[in-house]
Amino acid sequence: MRKSLFSSLFFTSLLLICFGSTLSAKAVKGKNKHQSSSHQTKKYIPRTLPGSWTPLNNQPTFLDGVTNQLLLTDGRVLVQHGVVLPDGSANAYPDMWILTPDIYGSYVNGTWTQVASLPNMAAEIIGSISGTTLTVTSATTFGASVLSASGQTISGDGVTPGTKILSRINVEADGTGTYKLNNSQTVLSEPLIVSVDYAPFSFASAVLADGRVIFAGGEDNGSDNIQVEESLCAIYDPVSDIWTPIAPPSFFRQYRTKNYALPIGDAASVILSDGTFMLMDALSRQSALLDLTTMSWTETGTATKHDRNNEEGWTLLPNGKVLTVDCYGDLGLYQSIITTDQPGVGPFTAVPARASVSGSFSYPITAPGAIAAPDITACTTLNDLTGHIGVCEWLGQVSQCSTGTPTSKMAAAHATACIVIDEYVTYPFPLGGSGNPFTCMINSQDGASLMAAIQAHPNMQISISQPELTSDTTNSELYDPVTGTWSTAGSTIVELADEVFSEVGPAVLRPDGTVFACGGVTGNTAIYDSYNNRWSVGPTFPNVPEEGQLGIADGPGALLPNGNVLVTASPGFVTPPLHVFEFDGKSLTEMQTIPGSENFFSAQCGMLVLPTGQIMMTTFTSDVELYTPGDKSYNPDWAPVVRCAPKKVHPGETYKIEGIRFNGMSQGAMYGDDVQSATNYPLVRITNKKSGHVFYCRTHDHSYMGVASDKEVFTYFDVPSSIEPGKSKLEVVANGIPSKAVDIVVKSHANSK
Q: Give per-residue pLDDT as tens, 245-301.
A: 999 998 886 554 444 556 788 999 999 999 999 999 987 889 999 999 999 999 999
Residue 456 has pLDDT above 90, yes or no: no
Going by C-alpha positions, the residue among 527, 572, 528, 532 that lies closest to residue 552 is 572
The b-or-e profile of 378-389 (16+ CB within 10 A means b, else e) is bbebbbebeebe
| Full-model pTM | 0.81
Residue-wise pLDDT for 66-100, tens only, equals: 999 999 999 999 999 998 877 667 789 999 999 99
pLDDT at residue 257 in the model: 44
pLDDT at residue 41, as a whole number: 55
**Number of H helices and number of E strands within the chain?**
5, 56
The per-residue pLDDT for range 692-747, each reduced to its tens digit, is 999 999 999 999 999 999 999 999 999 999 999 999 999 999 999 999 999 999 99
Q: Is the distance from CB of 148 to CB of 263 less than 8 angstroms?
A: yes
Note the pLDDT of residue 345.
86
pLDDT band at residue 224 under the 50/70/90 scheme: low
* Listed residue (265, 269, 267) closest to 314, CA to CA: 269
Per-residue pLDDT, 263: 78
Res 672: pLDDT = 85
For 609-669, give the DSSP string: E-TTS-EEEE-SSS--EEEE-S-----GGGS-EEEEEESEE-TT-EEEEEEE-TT-SS-EE
Amino acid at 50: P
pLDDT band at residue 370 using 50, 70 and 90 as cut-offs: very low
Q: Phi/psi of residue 322, each to 5°? A: -120, 130
Is 465 exposed, middle or buried, given 0-12, 13-18 or 19+ CB atoms closer than 10 A? middle
CA atoms lying within 13 Å on the CB side of residue 119: 20
Query: Would you report the helix, strand and coil content of the chain in percent, each value rounded to 5?
Result: 10, 40, 50
- Three-state SS for 259-282 is CCCCCCCCCCEEECCCCCEEEECC
Contacts of 362 (CB under 8 A, 6+ apart): 227, 354, 355, 356, 372
* Rounded Cα–Cα distance for residues 439 and 361 (Å): 11
**pLDDT value for 667:** 98
- List, in sequence order, every residue forming a beta bridge with 190; answer none if it has no partner: 127
Q: pLDDT digits over 9-64, tens only? A: 433 444 566 764 433 333 333 333 333 345 555 667 778 889 999 999 999 999 99
Inform me whether the pLDDT recorded for 379 exceeds 50. Answer: no
Handedness of CA 469, 475, 480, 485 (dihedral sign): negative
Instruction: Compute CA distances 360 → 85, 192, 363, 377, 727, whole Å.
Output: 11, 31, 10, 14, 58
Summarised one tens digit per residue, pLDDT across range 160-216 is 999 999 887 877 778 888 999 999 999 998 899 999 999 998 999 999 999 999 999
pLDDT tens per residue, range 672-685? 889 999 999 999 99
User: Looking at 119-133, 342-356, 608-622, which range is the least confident one?
Assistant: 342-356
Handedness of CA 745, 746, 750, 753 (dihedral sign): negative
Q: Are the C-beta atoms of 286 and 252 separated by less than 8 Å?
A: yes
422 vs 399: CA distance, rounded Å: 8
User: Is residue 451 a contact partner of residue 406, using CB atoms and an 8 Å limit?
Assistant: yes
Strands, sheet with 534-537, edge to edge from the N-terminal-most edge strand? 504-509, 514-519, 525-529, 534-537
Spacing of C-alpha 731 from chain mean position: 30
Model pLDDT, residue 225: 54
Instruction: Determine the average pLDDT of the residues in 497-515.
Output: 91
Q: Mean pLDDT over residues 337-345, rounded?
A: 79
Residue 433, phi then psi, degrees to nearest 5 = 85, -175
- The order of strands in the sheet holding 475-480 is 315-316, 322-325, 475-480, 485-491
Residue 124: which H helix or E strand, with range?
A: strand 120-139
Residue 453's CB is within 10 A of a number of other CB atoms, namely: 19
Report whether pLDDT(384) > 90.
no
pLDDT at 227: 60
- Residue 451's region, left for phi above 0, alpha for psi from -120 to 50, else beta, is alpha
> Tell me: the pLDDT tens digits for 517-550?
999 999 999 999 999 999 999 999 999 999 999 9
Q: What is the pLDDT of residue 169?
A: 80
